[in-house]
Amino acid sequence: MISESQYPDTDTMLRIALDIGEHMLIYGADVTRVEDAVTRICRRSGVEHIEVFCIASLLQVSVRMSDGQYAFQMRRIHSNGNNLARLEELNDISRRLCRGAISFDDADRLVKEANHLVPHKPLLYYIAAILGSSAFCIFFGGSPGDGLAAAVAAVPVMYMEMHGLKRGNQLIHTILEAFTGGIIGNAVLELGVGDDIDLICIGVLMLLIPGLKFGNAMHDFVKADVLAGSAKLVHALLLTLMIVMGLSLSMLCFGRWTL
């Protein structure tokens, strides 16, 4: 249990709270969970009044301490993804910090460790991509041959996902991934494996599709959080359009679609 004398200064406390919140957002937490985690951490540190504002691309916190001092920090979020192992670690760190089980220095160190956590070996991700794309191809009505073609096309897409651009334009990256998946899917179909290019493409695009972002946008609308919902919806539609552009370009190369 940490004592009040071990509380850091306001700026350090806010930095660590925002580090946790920022990375939770990057790794797939919804905005409500992030706002809740940051609020709890700040309240635990003697904050008298707190305002947290979070959307998918921005996190900002303003606090007033019990001595009347004000502080404000913000973070611009450049990428969102899903890393649920790291999210679980960060959630655990924030809870332990709020319970007083760890100090802010410990939390700072643990956040850095959590940001490097990789729960599985690289080979397992490729096996998962093969299983996932073929399973969803069959789930949406594809034949076993379509599933096999989708599985082959999933491997280079997964490679690009794992070794792709960490920074840069996500939309261009998505077009390239979809185009590569489409080219391989079409090539495998040309070799006589599979029957329906659309179902093969659907299997591959499940690796890329922001379907959950679409669902989360609706969830935000239902909760009357129109700003967060609109941002997610537009982003999801843009990404889906980029995926289809990439796949359509690959079909154009194989003469399956004409302008």
Partner 1 sequence: MKEILLATAAGMVGTFAFAVIYHVKGRHLLYTFLGGGVTTFILMLLLTLTDGHALLSNIAAAFAGGVYCMVCAYCRKAPSTVFLIPTLFPLVPGRNLYFSMIALVRHSRAQFVDNFAAAVEISFGIAVGVLLSSLFDVFVLQRYLVRRR
- Contacting partner 1 (CB under 8 A), which of 74, 101, 131, 234? 131
Q: Which of residues 138-197 bind partner 1 (CB under 8 A)?
A: 138-140, 158
Q: How many CB atoms lie within 10 A of CB 44?
A: 18
Answer yes or no whether residue 23 interacts with partner 1 by CB under 8 A: no
Shortest Cβ 154–partner 1 spacing (Å): 10
Region binding partner 1 by CB under 8 A among candidate stretches 55-63, 64-72, 180-188, 201-209: 201-209
Does the footprint of partner 1 cover residue 34 (CB under 8 A)? Answer: no
- Contact status: 87 vs partner 1 (CB under 8 A): yes
Smallest gap from residue 238 Cβ to partner 1 (A): 10
* Binder among 223, 226, 227, 234 for partner 1 (CB under 8 A): 223
> Binding segment for partner 1 among 15-23, 63-71, 123-131, 181-189 (CB under 8 A)?
123-131
Q: Give strand pairing partners of 215.
A: none
Residue 124 as a binder of partner 1 (CB under 8 A): the answer is yes
Of 85, 241, 224, 123, residue with least CA distance to 174: 241
- Judged by the rule CB under 8 A, the positions of this chain that interact with partner 1 are 28-30, 33, 82-88, 91, 118-120, 124-125, 127-132, 135-136, 138-140, 158, 198, 201-202, 205-207, 209, 211-212, 214-219, 221-223, 240-241, 243-245, 247-248, 257
